[in-house]
Amino acid sequence: MLLNTVWRQYNKENNFRELLARFCKMEIESLIEDDKVLYATLKSKLTKKELRLFAMDSAQMSNEELKIGLELDDEELEKAKYKLYKKLKQDKVRLSFRESALGFDT
């Protein structure tokens, strides 16, 4: 499942659900149940660069590796991280990851 994704390029496990819940400050049980749908939603809410940064940072790559992989300098990397994690905390983004956002009552 989700073998050919940006996430799996940098992470051995499909643990994006747990990390997404943590960064979005949500209960994991309230997230969309289907991993493919949840990942597609995540992918639609982030730019390609943000998704790649999220995957790389979650894989606990060093800042040096992140800078090289994303072709950023120190300041740009810090701004990109700030923007990414700020976006994940915004209500309009967070709520799109909820099971209820699919139109089902849970």
Domain assignment of residue 106, yes or no: no
Does pLDDT of 56 surpass 90? yes
Q: Is residue 27 part of a domain?
A: yes
* Mean pLDDT confidence for 48-74: 95
Domain that holds residue 94: 15-98
Q: How would residue 14 be classed by pLDDT, with cut points 50, 70 and 90?
A: confident
Q: Is residue 41 part of a domain?
A: yes
- What total of structural domains would you count in the chain? 1
Name the pLDDT band for 106 (thresholds 50, 70, 90): very low
Is residue 8 one of the residues assigned to a domain?
no
44 lies in a domain? yes
pLDDT for 15:
87
Average pLDDT over residues 1-10: 78
pLDDT score at 101 = 65
Nearest in space to 29 (alpha carbons), one of 9, 20, 55: 20
- Residue 9: inside a domain, yes or no? no
Question: Does 1 fall in a domain?
Answer: no
Helix (H, G, I), strand (E, B) or coil at 56: helix
Residue 33 resides in a domain: yes
- State yes or no: pLDDT of 104 exceeds 70: no
pLDDT of residue 5: 84
Helix boundaries (H) for the chain: 6-10, 16-24, 35-45, 48-58, 63-70, 74-89, 91-94
